Structure 1
Amino acid sequence: MSGISVPTPQPYPVHPGMETGDAKEELRRAIRAQRGLRSARRRAEAASALADVIESIPEVRDAGCVAAYAARSAEPDMLPLLDRLADRGVRALLPVLGAGLARDWADYTGPDDLLERAPGRPPEPGGPALGTDAVKLADVVLAPALAVDSRGVRLGQGGGWYDRALTHLRPGAKVVAVVFPEEVYDAADHPLPREDHDIPVHAVATPADWRWLG
């Protein structure tokens, strides 16, 4: 049976009557634990496949500017995609920690410039901060997520920064959540908990495929 692939389980520790905030935290805990089981080899394979999938999205293929992110170790790795975008002359904006702990954006200029510039933060470029409204330059936003459901509800890390950032998008810009395949939930059976401030996404991309939502 060594050649048989075992499907990765989909955690859903949500029960009737749970407070929305508690349900979110239980899901985050379960998904983070599952992500931690991935080997470095599997993450590298997923990163290459993810770049292929995201480059096949027409809005990304035609974009002049993409807002993306630099992944933490357990997240779907974006570095192969960022380098491919750079090779095509596409501008990539990444989140950075701005003045007064405000979140901001800066240009991706290559992997050697990405550093963990604050404890516990994802890697960030070292160039000048461009301001919160820089995301208006993006044709597409590739948003990190822990899970997304078929309605477009996105489960983030819990800080709420991306939901605030997405209010600055220019009209027509698309938001694509990036997750692993088992982190896409069917809302008919396993809807993700949602609060009023949660902004839905338009699509989801995984190392296996991508699709429109909602």
Structure 2
Amino acid sequence: MSGTVQPYPVPHSGQDVGEAKDALRAAIRAEREKRSPRTRARAGVEIAQVVGDLPQVREAGCVAAYVSRPTEPDTLPLLEMLAGRGVRVLLPVLGSGLQRDWAWFTSADDLQVRAPGRPPEPGGPTLGAGALVEAEAIIAPALAVDTGGARLGQGGGWYDRVLAYARPEATVVAMVFPEEVYDAVERPLPRQDHDRTVDIVATPTGWTWVREPEGSGH
């Protein structure tokens, strides 16, 4: 671990789960802002290698991923690595409100910002929410993940909803910085009934199962 702080706000009396999530999101975002663009770029190169070497990703013909926000580990190295292997890469296209859609990644040059505050999106035609069923591995953004598979997202619930379209056997991988992996016993992330768990958490330094695959003694 580096010297970066792992935030864990003490819950206030009467605070509900949603408020606890918001407090933790704010604290993690503040820590992410402290990282330099160079640090985030280096993390992107390192995590691309980690995720790209995952057997579940290496063997996939179609992977769903995302374009990173400025404070997240840069995902462009991973997207270009996958595309260079001939993998079909689905990227989110956000419609009005929480509308869910996807489009194919072709190149970094094709990505465009369609609305203020949103990550860049592919310029090609959209495929519908059900396109996610083609993905054998799904790379999901996260602010934090705990060792029980709980994922803290950005707060819009987009991925929790869209994962309903995934094939049951698809592996869901969350990408975070090392300090954003929480101990599910000592520092469990706040969870709600609609929250979808992930299978693997990946950081620039490695990866681990956080939900045991069926039939595995790993």
User: TM exceeds 0.5?
Assistant: yes
Which position in structure 1 is the counterpart of 2:179? 182
Corresponding residue to 1:128 among 125, 150, 157: 125
Structure 2 CA distance for aligned equivalents of residues 88 and 25 of structure 1: 38
Question: Aligned to 1:13, which of 9, 16, 30?
Answer: 9
Q: Counterparts of 1:147 and 1:6 in 2: how far apart (Å)?
A: 16
Match of 2:101 among 97, 100, 104: 104
- The one of 39, 47, 52 equivalent to 2:49 is 52
Tell me how far apart the structure 2 counterparts of residues 158 and 100 of structure 1 sit (CA, whole Å).
Answer: 13
Matching of residue 169 in structure 1 with residue 166 in structure 2: yes
Taking the TM superposition and a 5 Å limit, the aligned residue runs for 1:80-99 are: 80-98=77-95
Contact 2:200 2:208 in 1 (8 A): yes
Query: Structure 2 length as normaliser, TM-score?
Result: 0.93
Query: What residue in structure 2 maps to residue 146 of structure 1?
Result: 143
Match of 1:34?
31
CA RMSD of aligned residues (A): 1.4
Q: What percentage of aligned pairs have identical amino acids? A: 61
Any gaps of 5 or more consecutive residues in structure 2?
212-218
The structural deviation recorded for 1:7 is 2.2
Aligned length: 210
CA offset at residue 76 of structure 1? 1.4
User: Partner amino acid for 2:198?
Assistant: V
Q: Which residue of 2 aligns with 1:197?
A: 194
Does the 8 Å CA contact 2:41/2:73 hold for their aligned counterparts?
no
Cα offset, 1:16, TM superposition: 6.1
Q: What residue number does 2:152 align with?
A: 155
Q: CA deviation at 1:6?
A: 4.8
- 1:163 maps to amino acid: D
